[in-house]
Structure 1
Amino acid sequence: MDIKSKACGAYGTNCYIVKINDKEIIIDPGVNATAWVLGEVENPVAILNTHGHFDHVWSNHELAEKLNIPIYAPEGDCFMLENDPFLQGTPSSHADVCVRGDETFAIEGINVAFMHFPGHTPGCSVILIENALFSGDFIFKNSIGRYDFPYSDAEQMRISLEKFLTLEGNWEIYPGHGSPTTLQHEQKNVPHWLAVL
């Protein structure tokens, strides 16, 4: 597995390209991600969104149209792709697959597991591909996602963090902003976040 990333837009939102067996999956194509993605992919098969915030889905429509590939997004956030609830001028896109909770897919032979961790948004999810966990805005290096936005929920974030503590795996974490980290490192930080929630 090969992972490429680029921080896109004013918020430095990480767009990822995951290549396995000569096929590529695009994760969270944000603002101005299109040109970079088109220059890097040869055989893309899907776009995956960890959640529906504009800085993670901005280039969905343009890439899906140019590459003729489906969009997968968490069911609870599919409305954000279509309706621009934060009034940022986000190009409208449509999820071909609205992922329901914890759900696993085989996309062109690549196993992709969505894990639902609401709180930052109703549909907020992390995506596991092999030993890499793409955490969107749920978990960052030494931090967690905000839960004071519209559609955020502090109690759901608490429940999600408790669920996060139950995960077992030797996994690298690739967050929606900032540097990679590991599951074991971030699980050590969770008691602190639970105490301040």
Structure 2
Amino acid sequence: MILFENDSFMILCKAFGEYQTNCYLTIDKQTDEALIIDPGIGASTWVIETLESKKPLAILNTHGHFDHVWSNAELLSYFGKIPLLCPLEDAFMLTEDCFSTGLPQSTPSLLVGGKEGETIERKTANTENLGRENHYTLGNFIVEFSCYPGHTPGCSVIVLSSKLTNTDSTSAQNASSQSEIPPLSQQKVMFSGDFIFHRSIGRSDFPYSSHSAMKASLEKFMERKENLLILPGHGNTTSVAQEQANIPYWLARL
């Protein structure tokens, strides 16, 4: 199912597993290069068949929970040496079966937010990495990880754009000064993982989660200016502006 399309890329989505976790494929319309985002339980066959004539560039994980990373190992085995990007603080959830689910283990080749030589270790969510941003260029894609800990220690959103059409930030910011609700960007999208959902937020009562970190992350999210389409880890699409209107409700309950 195509959820989003502009002149540069398209985004496909299919939900998998008991928790109906959304797996996303972003495909560059000029080069046929693709990114795989959060391949969950049972996602491998769909990903492989859909990308049969495409060129996978990387696997991106918004966070480390098993239902978002289950197919990492199988896809890495099939596609060969494509990089796997995961937030540093969540990498231990990929390399060890810490929830005893039978997770096929995978090792990130790039620890988002990590320094050279940084080791993988168990962490519990706190605010030390809140607001951290890391940018990567993969083919024509510009990938930005923004860290919002709480649901997991390294829980992040991924903002995706193309270096060929990454021109609308200024116009969006100017429009926001003239209108209470800024227009929805047609050049950037946000994959929110389990941080923000349509009319809801991620749970922060799991092992390695934190209510206080989630609260701080939601407050930080309220500062975002650009109104982007949000593609969450579960359920339907929404937008930054729509969910900023709902966040005060959740803040009062954390």
Question: Which of the pair has more CA radius of gyration?
Answer: 2
2:191 corresponds to: 134
The residue correspondences of 1:1-197 to structure 2 (distance < 5 A) are 1-20=9-28, 21=30, 22-41=32-51, 42-68=54-80, 69-100=82-113, 101-130=132-161, 131-197=188-254
Report the AA paired with residue 4 of structure 1.
Answer: L
Instruction: Give the count of matched residue pairs.
Output: 197
Report the AA paired with residue 36 of structure 2.
Answer: I
SS of alignment partner, residue 63 of structure 1: helix
Report the AA paired with residue 106 of structure 1.
Answer: T
**Same amino acid, percent of matched pairs:** 50
Structure 2 unmatched ranges of 5 or more: 1-8, 114-131, 162-187
Residue 168 (structure 1) shift:
1.4
Q: Deviations over 1:15-54 (max 9, x none)?
A: 0001123211000000010000001111110000000000
Question: How many angstroms apart in 2 are the aligned matches of 1:15 and 1:25?
Answer: 11
Residue 88 (structure 1) shift:
0.2
Residue 170 (structure 1) shift:
2.7
Q: Deviations over 1:103-140 (max 9, x none)?
A: 00011231000000000000000000021100000000
RMSD: 0.8
Report the AA paired with residue 75 of structure 2.
Answer: L
Structure 1 unmatched ranges of 5 or more: none
TM-score (norm 2): 0.76
Range moving further from structure 2, 101-110 or 82-91: 101-110
Report the AA paired with residue 55 of structure 2.
Answer: N
Residue 102 (structure 1) shift:
1.6
Question: How many angstroms apart in 1 are the aligned matches of 2:22 and 2:216?
Answer: 25
Report the AA paired with residue 48 of structure 1.
Answer: L
- Structure 1 residue runs of 4 or more that deviate by more than 4 Å after TM superposition: none
Question: How many angstroms apart in 1 are the aligned matches of 2:84 and 2:105?
Answer: 12
SS of alignment partner, residue 84 of structure 1: coil
